[in-house]
Structure 1
Amino acid sequence: MFKNLPRHQFGNLQSKMFPAYFSMVGVCCAVSVASFGYLHPWKTSSTTERYQLGFLLSSFAFNLTNLFVFTPMTIEMMKQRHKVERENNIGEEVGWSKNVEVAKSNPKLAAMNKKFGMIHGLSSLANIMSFGSLAIHSWYLAGKIDL
């Protein structure tokens, strides 16, 4: 998409896709937490099973943080940047942006880019942490398979 859509269209598409993605992953995490918690009650579960529940809960928490904190912040910042970019006649190009060049002479856009990068980076980190927690749980489940 990045290589084929104008930047503003790409950003608008992403702003629709990511809330749906984080919602779907959140529902799946909630079902996994509930299922695992039901099948392995805390009082009778082993240390390993308690860790697994912790990994599932952390994945759920990271995902909810993305859905309810970082995604709305990222979308709002993107909309503000799009407005400033339109004022500077940029953003309709496909692929790499002229944004960086314009930001050198536009301190408002430079500040927006910095804030957007920070929020986007935190969102990516939360997504990686969620994925990592699920990967550890998948490793645990794979170890339970007897072929």
Structure 2
Amino acid sequence: MPTEGEPTTLVKSAHLIILSTSWGMQIWVSFISGFVLINSINRHTFGLVQSSLFPYYFYSVLGGSFLNLTLYALYHPHELLDNNEAIQITSFFVCVILSALNAQWFGETTTEIMFQMHEIEKEHHLGEEVGFGTNQELYKKLKKKDPKYQKLSQRFVKYHVLSMVCNLICVICNGLNLFYTAANLKTF
């Protein structure tokens, strides 16, 4: 049931705060914190930190996207949408779907596979190195030597890439919505 009229200042403020906070968090987690951590702590600790943070991150993005979709849809009935509004509501919807997939499936699966890989790596005295790409030859040898590890590694890459693509699309969708929101500000 759409709401008639202009949204109140409180609704507009809530929408903008949720959207900008979500997008800022996405930028931080996607492009800054991971790179800093991987070069500061060992590989297994990095995986442990990411496995603890990502569920909160994915559910926060999901919650923010759902709230923004709901607020936007209340004041923009689908029968009256222009092209820009249709792009915005579609972007919110896409972000809800993809962040739900990350929260419920890709993130959890990636973490489960990673912990299985860590167990095998510990048996071979791997995982304590700091820095992305360190000891890659040893990991390649382990993949060749251990078919279980090779299969886990392939599954990990598959789910990790799916999760990253979903996350990147959500970043783009929220960035697009910030652009349209800024373009529609009456005054600065």
TM-score, L = length of structure 2? 0.73
Q: Find 1:35's aligned residue among 71, 75, 81.
A: 71
Structure 2 unaligned regions, length at least 5: 1-36
Does 2:184 correspond to 1:144?
yes
The 5 A counterparts of 1:48-67 are 48-67=84-103
Paired amino acid for 1:48: N
Q: Find 2:60's aligned residue among 15, 20, 24.
A: 24
| Counterpart Cα distance in 2 of 1:15 and 1:79 | 9
**Partner residue of 2:118?**
82
**Contact (CA 8 Å) 1:6, 1:91: kept in 2 or not?**
yes
After superposition, what is the alpha-carbon deviation per residue over 1:73-131, rounded to whole angstroms, capped at 9, x for unaligned?
A: 00100111011111112112222244233223222222211111111011000111111
| Counterpart Cα distance in 1 of 2:161 and 2:112 | 15
**Contact (CA 8 Å) 1:2, 1:94: kept in 2 or not?**
yes
Does 2:172 correspond to 1:126?
no
How far the C-alpha of 1:9 sits from its partner, in A, is: 0.9
**Contact (CA 8 Å) 1:91, 1:99: kept in 2 or not?**
no
**Contact (CA 8 Å) 1:70, 1:122: kept in 2 or not?**
yes
Q: Match of 2:38, SS?
A: coil
Q: Match of 1:104, SS?
A: helix
Q: Find 1:2's aligned residue among 28, 38, 46.
A: 38
Moved over 3 A (4+): none
Structure 1 unaligned regions, length at least 5: none
| Counterpart Cα distance in 1 of 2:181 and 2:77 | 17
Q: Match of 2:145, SS?
A: coil
After superposition, what is the alpha-carbon deviation per residue over 1:32-69, rounded to whole angstroms, capped at 9, x for unaligned?
A: 00110111122333343233111110011111111101
Paired amino acid for 1:19: P
| Counterpart Cα distance in 2 of 1:139 and 1:118 | 32
TM-score, L = length of structure 1? 0.91
